[in-house]
Amino acid sequence: MEKYAIEGTPKTPTISFDIQNGVLEIKGRSIPENSIEFYKPLVDALDKYSTATKPTTTVNIQLEYFNTSSSKCILDVFKKLEGIHKSGSAVTINWHYEEDDEDMLEAGEDYQAIINIPFKMVQVAE
Amino acid sequence: MIDVYNIYDKMDKNNILLSFKGDITSELLTSILQIMENKMDNMQEEPKTKKKVYNVLVECLQNLYHHMDDATDTNGDKNRSAIFMIAKNEGVYNILTGNYILNENIHGLKNRLDEVNACNKEQLKDYYKSVLNNGEMSLKGGGGLGMIDIARKTGEKLGYNFLEIDNKVSFFTLIIKVTQPQLI
């Protein structure tokens, strides 16, 4: 498995995990009613990746909206990444937020406070 | 006879943008969110306002969705129905939801709402983080973050009411105010 990809829908984000280069991207909206079901394959893919990591792992999160049930699943994803970071692959999380979207910036800062991985807050134009 | 004009008049006077009564399904939520997005685009709402309203709508509607079955056991399918309304008065959005709840569950819900309402901005942030990090995720997905998130994003107290229907169920109403950020 070199790549793991999911097309976005109005309620779920586009996910691409380029295992070859250690780059994970989550983009779009994450507002499914059942988030656990949606995120389970990604958590499993990260579990697999953690057994053979690249020297660096780059994570790009660019969400327009996410609901509170996704927020727990995103934390689970970050916790997996925290494990990967501890075991030797240098993980960076680039948390994108639209200019003026203070709620999204704050959401990133909440994760930053909980998770022991370097976070970069990246502002993007609306 | 149903007095249609009476219902129309009430909705008109209360500036209801959208109203629905019935079973809340996943497909319905997708449609409603789309309709509200289009409406707000047509009204040329500020992106900030649009985002706040959209976020709060998602949480309110998914709350209803996850709690549709809560009061059905005792009274059959009759209680498998909810109402929600979105109104806009003088630049302030009001999101109102109503659903049945078992009387035995009122106490717990009321405590949680009061707890959220007692928090200031900083306390809500800490409360959110502690529930996010330590709280058990319920199978339904919510995990108790929804109300905290709504209070945090709106910066308003959560309005609520419990109307006793009989000795088993009550009707729970939630009233959320979203003020346009530039007016704060």
Q: Which residues pair with A62 in a beta bridge?
A: A27, A96
Domain B4-183 bears CATH identifier 3.30.1130.10:
no
Write the pLDDT tens digit of every residue in B73-127. Answer: 655 556 678 999 999 999 899 999 999 999 999 999 999 999 999 999 999 999 9
Three-state secondary structure call for residue B41: helix
**Residue B162 scores a pLDDT above 90:** yes
Radius of gyration of chain B, Cα coordinates, nearest whole angstrom = 17
pLDDT at residue A93 in the model: 97
**Residue A122 scores a pLDDT above 70:** yes
- Strand ranges, E, within chain A: 3-6, 14-18, 23-30, 56-66, 90-98, 119-124
Measure the CA–CA gap between B39 and B93, rounded to whole angstroms. Answer: 13
Shortest CA distance from A108: residue in chain B: B129
N- to C-terminal Cα separation, chain A: 35
Is A71 at the interface with chain B, CB within 8 A? yes
CB contact under 8 A, A72 and B59: no
Q: Is the ipTM of this complex over 0.90?
A: yes
Please state the separation of Cα B7 from the chain's center in Å. 21
Is A20 at the interface with chain B, CB within 8 A? no
Write the pLDDT tens digit of every residue in B18-56. Answer: 999 999 999 999 999 999 999 999 999 998 899 999 999
* Mean pLDDT for the stretch of residues A100-120: 95
CB contact under 8 A, A68 and B65: no
Contacts of B143 in chain A (CB under 8 A): 68-69, 72
Write the pLDDT tens digit of every residue in B131-154. Answer: 998 866 554 555 679 999 999 999
Residue B53 sits at φ, ψ, to 5 deg, of: -60, -45
pLDDT at residue B183 in the model: 46
Contacts of A68 in chain B (CB under 8 A): 59, 142-143, 145-146, 149
Question: What is the model's pTM?
Answer: 0.92
Is A88 at the interface with chain B, CB within 8 A? no
Select the residue of B30, B59, B129 nearest A68 (Cβ to Cβ): B59
Residue B93: count of CB within 10 angstroms of its CB: 23
CB contact under 8 A, A103 and B146: no
Is A7 at the interface with chain B, CB within 8 A? no
Is A100 at the interface with chain B, CB within 8 A? yes
Residues contacting B44, CB < 8 A, separation 6+ = none
pLDDT at residue B108 in the model: 92
pLDDT at residue B180 in the model: 75
Best CA proximity match to B90, nearest among B9, B156, B180, B174: B180
Between vectors from CA A81 to CA A77 and to CA A86, what angle results, nearest 5°?
150
Any long-range contacts for A42-49 (C-beta under 8 Å, 24+ apart)? A42/A4, A42/A6, A42/A15, A42/A17, A42/A77, A43/A73, A43/A76, A43/A77, A43/A80, A45/A1, A45/A4, A45/A17, A45/A19, A46/A17, A46/A77, A46/A80, A46/A81, A46/A84, A47/A80, A48/A1, A49/A17, A49/A19, A49/A84
Select the residue of B59, B128, B129 nearest A67 (Cβ to Cβ): B59
Measure the CA–CA gap between B171 and B173, rounded to whole angstroms. Answer: 7
pLDDT at residue B77 in the model: 59
CB contact under 8 A, A72 and B143: yes
